[in-house]
Amino acid sequence: MGKLSVNLCGIELDNPIIPASGTFGFGYEFAELYDINCLGTFSFKGTTLHPRFGNPTPRIAECSAGMINAVGLQNPGVDDVIGEELPKLKQVFHKPVMANVSGFSIEEYAETCAKLDNQEQVGWLEVNVSCPNVHGGGMSFGVDSHAAASVVRAVKAVTTKPVIVKLSPNVTDIVAIAKACEDAGADGISLINTLLGMRIDLRTRKPVIANKMGGFSGPAIFPVALRMVYQVAHAVNIPVIGMGGVQCAEDVIEMMLAGATAVEVGTANLIDPFACKKIIDDLPRVMEQYKISSLADIIKGVR
């Protein structure tokens, strides 16, 4: 069988498959269905400094090739995650976990990351810079290279664990933002977060979700995600985690050829809770089909 392992920012993964934040809870929910230790790792639910109830309902809209969500980062806050969620996770998951962090000011990002940095279970900090900057007029940190870099510098100053910056695709030049994050000290880049989308109910003539617009994800965005992964991976010298519409083992291979060291799986988990396990189980077959002996060897292997 081919070699599935990869190295992500100095930590060895048994395979490159990572359930994406917001689609896998805090892991132990899925552990009731199968042994989640088969995963490379997973990115747990987006965590903020303070508890958040999230956006009003309805929060989800279905699309023909994906979905739109505006959950609004509902989570119990970092203290409860450390005190309640991580101990439960430790009972069922025996690998380093990826902590996904959100914030509404640079200070919030830094304080939340500093608390999670002290947790032995946390292997990486995935810093989501798609949040609105409350001190900067509400504009997302991730749409401005200077703002994104400021978050990275603040987080790197208070942490020792690898910092992976999760970028928004809703920008004109994602390469410039990725390079700014690298220059500020980021240890990795993950992309893409959701595209901005909307649906309208023809009967009520109102937006389907209460927030009007939300994050569009699913198989329809895969070509956009692949293009951005390719652009960023060939512009920076740090690992890239690819995501966006990944559904099968073939998609994983394609992402890695474009330059991804590891691959996150999001919406597919919401459709089929066994999606990641099925992809992992199928990777050896696809590797054999395409004469791949080691996944690590194909990263940035597109001709």
Residue whose pair of structure tokens reads 């990777």 in the numeric block: 283
Burial of 204 by CB count in 10 Å (0-12 exposed, 13-18 middle, 19+ buried)?
exposed
Residue 2: helix, strand or coil by DSSP? coil
Residue 267: helix, strand or coil by DSSP? helix
CB-CB contact of 189 with 164 (8 Å):
yes
Amino acid at 294: S
Crossing angle for the helix pair 222-233 and 249-258, nearest 10 degrees? Answer: 30
CB-CB contact of 255 with 20 (8 Å):
no
Show the CA angle centred on residue 229, arms to residues 226 and 233, nearest 5°: 145
Is 181 among the catalytic positions?
A: no
Dist CA 267 CA 69 (whole Å): 10
Dist CA 68 CA 189 (whole Å): 23
Dist CA 90 CA 92 (whole Å): 6
Question: Measured in Å, how far apart are the chain's first and last C-alpha atoms?
Answer: 25
Catalytic residue among 9, 131, 181, 276: 131
Dist CA 97 CA 294 (whole Å): 24
List active site positions.
131
